[in-house]
Structure 1
Amino acid sequence: MNQHLQDFESETVTQLREDLALALRAAAFHGLAEGVCNHFSVELPDASGRFLLNPRGLLWQEIQADDIVLIDVHGNKLAGRHAVEPTAMFIHAAIHRIAGKACVLHTHMPYATALTLTARRALDTCLSQNAMRFHGRVAADAHYNGLALDTSEGERIANAMQGADVVFLGNHGVVVCAQRMDYAYDDLYYLERACQVQVLAQSTGAPVVPVAADIAHKVMEQTIGERLQSELFFAALRRTL
């Protein structure tokens, strides 16, 4: 057995594969998936530059741990039985390497993507309580350059994050990052909920009423300072999906 396969089947990486597959199925359940497109990834904790990724051609709702693939920063498949989609390698490899994020979740979920089409390009983190958890944690990349089919585009996106946990990609979608999969998925879910209520509020035509920035910052610190809810949510998804 080669080293990559041995690592792929280790207890630690098997747990990461299970967490990644669960996050993908949860995203499908919550309406955040789009066909067989978009990707979630998580890096191995050994600083080797290798990361786990969902494969090409599978619906998120059907993905199990055995479907996850292991690739390196150059997009070479190291372990797994499925093919890899090129844009996944370019975006995810760059964010893992440049932004130093362990978990990278990229979606075209509808309400967040809708806000990337607006002049602001992103969520207003001073509106709903769910939005406030992202105050000071969001970047917006307004420069859409087509499909990410080369290394330079992935690197441009990674650099545009400027350390943020969330980046809204203009005319494209969003990327949500964290150091743990349960935290990353919790943020992804509540990001879409926050974007949804903002779109709904603005669709009424009535003026929206933001809170002061210091209040939004306080709510962010309260939410991020205690992530037990994130852990419990992911555990509940594990029991039910």
Structure 2
Amino acid sequence: MNTFLEERKDLAAAYQWCERCGFHEGIDNHLSVMVSTSPPRFLINPRGRHWSRMTPDALLVIDEQGNTVDGNGEALRTGPTIHVAIHQNHPSANVVLHTHMPYATALTAIKGGELRQVHQNSARFLDQCAYDRTFNGLAFDMNEGKRLAEAMGEKRVLFMAHHGVVVVGSNVAEAMDDLYYLERACETQWLAASMQNEEVHEIPPEVARQTADQFRNRSASAKLHLEEIKRVLHLD
């Protein structure tokens, strides 16, 4: 538990806050932090533990094959499969968050579904979303993780067909901030689209671009967001 203490606190806060926001699904899905590259080591949740009960000391340290190096229990089988390849292939993926949060996941069930520029929260993801249109069943094979990493490229967000989303970041604060606002953007899009006899009004491209540029310096705000989450959860 003494190893990677700050990373453990941040990641545990992300798990608990995702549960409060309804981003979790049963005891499944996974959020991870790469804590070492040589040898490769990752913090991730143990199989069977509910996100509302995720504490810093409950998190596992695993290797690139998914074997537990430190901690009690084992990782979900799909955790290392999806996360390791993205961690190792994406230049900014120190943190990988994978959820089935409802509004973002609903977009993956729509043929050709994409995040549209309907709100300022949408603009922060302009040109930062990749879309994997192939669903191969549960991600039990490491080759599937490699395929997903290739589909994601260097984008911050991957929409996975009939599955969910992946959000990456250089630290937990930035990744969690993006995950939260991605779901809010998708929710707004769905609510707008559900209004009968009303046409969804998209932001003009030049304004969307300007707004995206304004969101680039979001690190300080993301840090404050996570710090406040940790205070609410008494993990500060």
CA contact (8 A) 1:121 1:170 kept: no
CA contact (8 A) 2:67 2:74 kept: no
Deviation string 1:176-222 (CA, Å, 9 cap, x unpaired) is 00001001001000000000010011011321111122221221221
Distance 1:56 1:118 in 2: 30
Q: How many residues align?
A: 231
Q: Which of 38, 63, 82 is the equivalent residue of 1:72?
A: 63
Q: Which of 2, 22, 26 is the equivalent residue of 1:9?
A: 2
| 2:155 counterpart letter in structure 1 | A
CA contact (8 A) 1:22 1:238 kept: yes
Alignment of structure 1 residues 58-137 onto 2, 5 Å: 58-100=49-91, 101-124=93-116, 126-137=117-128
- 1:198 aligns to what? 189
- 1:224 aligns to what? 216
Unaligned runs of 5+ in 1: 1-7
CA contact (8 A) 2:95 2:171 kept: yes
State the Cα distance separating 1:119 from its structure 2 match: 2.1
- 1:3 aligns to what? none
State the Cα distance separating 1:76 from its structure 2 match: 1.3
Superposed CA RMSD in Å reads 1.2
User: Does the alignment pair 1:31 with 2:22?
Assistant: yes
Unaligned runs of 5+ in 2: none
Deviation string 1:124-162 (CA, Å, 9 cap, x unpaired) is 1x2111111000111000101100000111110110001
Distance 1:108 1:47 in 2: 31
| 2:162 counterpart letter in structure 1 | N
State the Cα distance separating 1:122 from its structure 2 match: 2.7
Query: Which structure dedicates a bigger proportion of its chain to helix?
Result: 1
Distance 1:103 1:122 in 2: 23
User: Does the alignment pair 1:150 with 2:113?
Assistant: no
TM-score under structure 1 normalisation? Answer: 0.92
Deviation string 1:35-59 (CA, Å, 9 cap, x unpaired) is 0000000001554321110111011
Q: Which of 208, 231, 235 is the equivalent residue of 1:239?
A: 231
Distance 1:108 1:41 in 2: 15
TM-score under structure 2 normalisation? Answer: 0.94
- 1:4 aligns to what? none
